[in-house]
């Protein structure tokens, strides 16, 4: 199973993002634009990034009543994006509405449990059980509602591969290269090679690349780690 690297473009300004992207051309294909950059610069920046030859994963984690989410997806359809996120906790009707509203080549991904959450944090929100159980519950709901992909931590990849259809796409944040001790605010992490072995289709990496002195070299090292898996 192939596994692609997505750069999380979580930086404070467009100038900073453009500098990183200039280094990344020819190294990576996918870029994730999240709330920070989308809120600051809007749809035009999505078009600009796609215009530089990158495939765009728009990570907005939509979560609202079904009709509002459906209209939001319809509004985003004209943008040059290949992936879009919604919260799987929004429920079956919301998920089905998002999937139905998306153009055929736009993959709507259900976000299961954020990698910043663990069992203790979930209990504080009233969710009993560990993170893995909640991920599995939401993943099955999302698939039954018609979604073709999920966002999950790397620690749940193997579980989902055992329980869900093989064609399902798994997009995995919480990736840290071997020897990187800094998990930051992410509690459920794994190395790139281990995530691929577990069955990830895409890994999302931000800080280990963005905080490196040489962004392209850091990305190349992660890609080499992925290629090391037979």
Residues identified as active-site: 61
Q: How far apart are CA 8 and CA 59, in angstroms?
A: 9
3-state SS, residue 164: coil
Q: How far apart are CA 152 and CA 182, in angstroms?
A: 19
Q: How far apart are CA 74 and CA 67, in angstroms?
A: 11
Residue 90 is given by DSSP the state G
Structure tokens at 211: 């905080």
Terminal C-alpha separation, the chain:
9
Q: How far apart are CA 147 and CA 96, in angstroms?
A: 8
Strand 55-62 vs strand 149-151: parallel, antiparallel, or unpaired?
A: unpaired
Residue closest to 186 by CA, chosen among 168, 204, 211, 213: 204
């Amino acid at each position: 199973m192939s596994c692609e690297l997505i750069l999380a473009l979580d930086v404070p300004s467009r100038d900073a993002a453009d500098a990183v992207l200039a280094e990344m051309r020819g190294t990576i294909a996918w870029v994730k634009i999240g709330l920070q950059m989308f809120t600051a610069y809007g749809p035009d920046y999505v078009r600009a990034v796609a215009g530089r030859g990158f495939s765009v994963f728009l990570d907005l984690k939509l979560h609202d009543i079904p009709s509002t989410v459906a209209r939001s997806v319809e509004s985003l359809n004209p943008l040059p994006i290949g992936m879009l996120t919604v919260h799987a906790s929004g429920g079956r009707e919301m998920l089905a509405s998002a999937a139905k509203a998306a153009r055929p080549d736009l993959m709507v991904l259900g976000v299961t449990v954020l990698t910043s959450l663990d069992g203790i944090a979930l209990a504080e929100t009233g969710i009993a059980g560990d993170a893995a159980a909640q991920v599995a519950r939401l993943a099955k709901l999302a698939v039954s509602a018609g979604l073709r992909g999920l966002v999950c931590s790397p620690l749940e990849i193997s579980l989902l591969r055992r329980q869900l259809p093989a064609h399902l796409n798994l997009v995995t944040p919480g990736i840290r290269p071997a020897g990187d001790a800094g998990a930051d605010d992410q509690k459920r992490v794994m190395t790139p090679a281990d995530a691929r072995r577990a069955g990830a289709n895409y890994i999302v990496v931000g800080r280990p690349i963005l905080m490196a002195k040489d962004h392209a070299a850091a990305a190349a090292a992660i890609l080499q780690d992925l290629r090391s898996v037979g």
